[in-house]
Amino acid sequence: MRKIKKTLIAIPLALSIGLAGCAGTNSGPKQTGGTLLGAGLGALAGSQIGKGRGKLVAVAVGTLAGAYLGSEVGQSLDRADKLHMARTSATAFERVPTGQTTGWTNPDSGNSGTVTPTRTYQSQGRYCREFQQSVTVGGKTEEAYGTACRQPDGSWEIA
């Protein structure tokens, strides 16, 4: 059982590091960060599917798909976009009722996104919120799902 858990962690980590390295010399920190974040979210999503070897395959596929999508979004988002997205996400996690969507738009780049909390619960004494997020860059929309938990300092961390 421990070997399977280590494998579930090692596979996405190795794939994301490899994919980040394969992003090429033209990739910047946004694209690399997007690749790693996407790989992590994809692995998390894949880990919720299947059992045994099927679960390992789902984690690997989720990692690859997430890394690709994260790379594409990360390549296009600039610092101002990320700031708009971070502020909107923090507000959604803290104040927006479950099921209500809140959005952001960067008037300079034209990029936009939404955050929708889908479930709120407590885990190990912390408040956590599952959410759906979309980002639109150049007319192309990508969606992701995740969980954020409130830290002791009041900030929210994507789990």
**DSSP code of residue 48:** T
- Per-residue pLDDT tens digits for 93-113: 999 999 999 999 999 889 999
The per-residue pLDDT for 131 is 96
Q: How confident is the model at residue 66 (pLDDT cuts 50, 70, 90)?
A: low
Last residue of a domain, one of 46, 76, 106: 76
Residues 142 and 94 in one domain: yes
- Per-residue pLDDT tens digits for 32-61: 556 656 666 666 665 666 666 666 666 666
**DSSP code of residue 26:** T
**DSSP code of residue 108:** T
Rounded Cα gap, residues 44 and 11, in angstroms: 12
Beta strands 112-123 and 102-105, pairing class: antiparallel
The per-residue pLDDT for 82 is 87
**DSSP code of residue 155:** -
- The distance between the two most distant Cα atoms of the chain, rounded to a whole number of Å, is 51
Is residue 130 scored above 80 in pLDDT?
yes
What is the rounded average pLDDT for all residues in the chain? 75
Are 158 and 147 spatial neighbours (Cβ–Cβ below 8 Å)?
Answer: yes
Residues 8 and 70 in one domain: yes
For residue 107, the enclosing domain spans 81-158
Burial (CB count <10 Å: 0-12, 13-18, 19+), residue 75: middle
Residues 36 and 93 in one domain: no
Query: Per the structure, how many domains does the chain have?
Result: 2
Residues 136 and 72 in one domain: no
Last residue of a domain, one of 76, 104, 133: 76
More confidently predicted of 13 and 93: 93
Rounded Cα gap, residues 132 and 154, in angstroms: 21
Q: How confident is the model at residue 159 (pLDDT cuts 50, 70, 90)?
A: confident
The per-residue pLDDT for 104 is 96
Last residue of a domain, one of 76, 103, 135: 76
The per-residue pLDDT for 138 is 86
Q: How confident is the model at residue 78 (pLDDT cuts 50, 70, 90)?
A: confident
The per-residue pLDDT for 108 is 87
The per-residue pLDDT for 15 is 44
Can you tell me whether residue 115 is helix, strand or coil? strand
Q: What's the pTM value of the predicted model, to 2 decimals?
A: 0.54
Residues 9 and 27 in one domain: yes
Residues 71 and 108 in one domain: no
